Structure 1
């Protein structure tokens, strides 16, 4: 099995501070990690849930994927991140199964991870992020 566990569920939000406050108030949650990923134009806050995360994310510029998503669809689930032992092998396996990669090769992600995205059109309508720690 290539997938080792669910890394995160990413939720696109307009106001990151307000979203963090909601999760703190509603669930007693606290932010474990916060980061701006400049090359993707996003800011994220990770809330740990067992061995996985809820990733609250917002765009930092108009052309970022999150900003475009929010403009088109509004707030909500953006993608699912799956942990894998080998991101390159996971891309190959998904392509062999008919998926279309957004990232043809793994690239640096947040928290020092290696990541790659798979397009929803070839993945049952779900944007998938492969995450190698």
Structure 2
């Protein structure tokens, strides 16, 4: 038998900070080539594509699983640099193509950022920025998250 679960208000609050894994970001040098690979090799479908000048990327959200039975399912976000000085271009120069971030869906990005700051974590932005499909995003500094760049995503009201 296992010990009874202890109640801890802080632990209870953590359980409600993140509502789902929203997506996994993958840095790629060529978006069209990556989209073709995910489509042809894995049978995945592009759900959304856009250019985000502020973030310096051209991106595509590729659906994982059956959207008919799981419309709010997780995605793979393919990120290609718009310029050699963008964050994604620097990531590619340092690491090559591959996993760049893990994104958690949240209901209120400002609230979650505040709770995380109270817990001593650094966020990259003082205020949320515009993300994919008009979502609001912020990032936990990788040095405070076990070496992983963690994105917080509050979907736009018409999403998920």
Paired position in structure 2 for 1:27:
42
Question: Normalising by structure 2, what TM-score?
Answer: 0.80
The 2-side partners of 1:111 and 1:53 are apart by 13
Q: Which has the larger radius of gyration?
A: 2
Paired position in structure 1 for 2:54:
39
Higher relative contact order (CA 8 A, sep 6+): 1
Within a 5 Å distance, the mapping from 1:13-92 to structure 2 comes to: 13-50=28-65, 51-92=73-114
- Secondary structure, in 3 states, of the residue corresponding to 1:88? helix
The 2-side partners of 1:106 and 1:26 are apart by 35
The 1-side partners of 2:141 and 2:92 are apart by 17
1:19 is displaced (CA, Å) by: 0.8
The yes-or-no answer on 1:106 pairing with 2:135 is: no
Contact residue 114 and residue 132 of structure 1 kept, 8 A: yes
1:110 is displaced (CA, Å) by: 1.5
Greater strand share, structure number: 1
The 1-side partners of 2:151 and 2:97 are apart by 18
The 2-side partners of 1:56 and 1:42 are apart by 9
| 5+ residue gaps, structure 1 | none
- Secondary structure, in 3 states, of the residue corresponding to 1:46? strand
Number of matched residues? 133
Question: Normalising by structure 1, what TM-score?
Answer: 0.96
The 1-side partners of 2:120 and 2:102 are apart by 18
| 5+ residue gaps, structure 2 | 1-15, 66-72, 156-160
The 2-side partners of 1:118 and 1:93 are apart by 12
